[in-house]
Amino acid sequence: MFYHRKDEFLYPVRVSGPDPKFASMLVEQLAGQNGELAAGMQYIIQGLKCKNPKIKDLLLDIGTEELNHLEMVGHMIGLLAGEQVSTASPEEFSFQLLGGGGPLWINSLGSPFSSTYVDAVGDIAADLQSNIAAEFRAKAVYERLYRQAKDPAVQDFIKFLISREEAHANLFRQALDEVQGQGVLKDFVDTGYSRQYYDLSQPAQYGQYT
């Protein structure tokens, strides 16, 4: 059961002033491929089908936290957008025109959110691996946004989100350690073909993995 607290965020969301251009970039982490909506939907749907009670709880906890992040990012987008729709620059105009500068289920290019962003194959090991990668991808995008941000308050907020991506990746790694030998990891690399390296890109210059 979900409840919404209107008067509480996990971390302060503040801006020094409007910055519609950065708002149109930050919307990528609202509903883009590596954004908060995709992460929340991914972990919650995995949690609903997970048979391991401990990992199910982890997935639903982190999925719920991602919805908190979604709300905070959406709130910051609204603060950054400001009110001056008529003065938007060309690169900001579509974002301002479609949503008045407020959050929409689109990415920074204006493409709508897609359920294809959600990875949930139903194998506990494969899903946890996917989740670790998802957290790293989100961290990479937030780090790029951090470098583009000019407002110290916005940078501070993004640093918090980067820290939480790291925390989630670490938690998913711990969960993955607990399911070694399960799912797709069962009988992993158990044939001669599983251990062969096909050196098909010639000439070979840098050695081989085994």
- In angstroms, the CA 199 to CA 203 distance is 9
- Phi-psi region at 122: left, alpha or beta (left = phi > 0; alpha = psi -120 to 50): left
**DSSP E strand boundaries for 33-127:** none
**Contact yes or no for 166/136 (Cβ under 8 A):** no
Q: For residue 192, what are its two tokens? A: 């001669």
Annotated binding site for Ca(2+): 57, 61, 201
Annotated binding site for Mn(2+): 36, 66, 69, 135, 168
Three-point CA angle 63, 64, 66, nearest 5°: 65
- In angstroms, the CA 102 to CA 83 distance is 10
Annotated binding site: 36, 57, 61, 66, 69, 135, 168, 201
CB atoms within 10 A of CB 68: 18
